[in-house]
Amino acid sequence: MSEGANIVIRQADGEDLTEVLEVGHKTWPVTYGPIAGDDYVAMGLAKWWTQEATIPAIRAGRVTVAEVDGRVVGMTSVGPSEGHLNLWKLYVLPDQQGTGLGGRLMRAVIDKAVEDGHDAIRLSYILGNDNAAQFYEHFGFVETERESGGSGMPDNVWMQLALPQPGEDA
The residues binding ligand COA (CB under 6 A) are 27, 31, 90-92, 97-103, 125, 129, 131-132, 134-135, 138
| In the complex, least distance from residue 168 CB atom to ligand COA, rounded to whole angstroms | 22
Task: Please check whether residue 16 is in contact with residue 74, taking contact to mean a CB–CB distance below 8 angstroms.
Answer: no
Residues belonging to the chain: 170
CB atoms closer than 10 angstroms to residue 50: 12
Q: Which is nearer to ligand COA, 27 or 64 (CB)?
A: 27
Report in angstroms how near the CB of residue 92 gets to ligand COA at its nearest: 4
Which residue lies nearer to ligand COA by CB, 155 or 165?
155
Nearer to ligand COA among residue 89 and residue 118 (C-beta): 89
Residue nearest to ligand COA (CB): 102
Number of CB atoms found within 10 A of residue 14's CB: 8
Q: How far apart are CA 2 and CA 132, in angstroms?
A: 24
Contact between 159 and 123 (Cβ < 8 Å): yes
- Closest distance to ligand COA from the beta carbon of 166 (Å): 26
In angstroms, what is the C-alpha Rg of the chain?
A: 16
Nearer to ligand COA, 35 or 55 (CB): 35
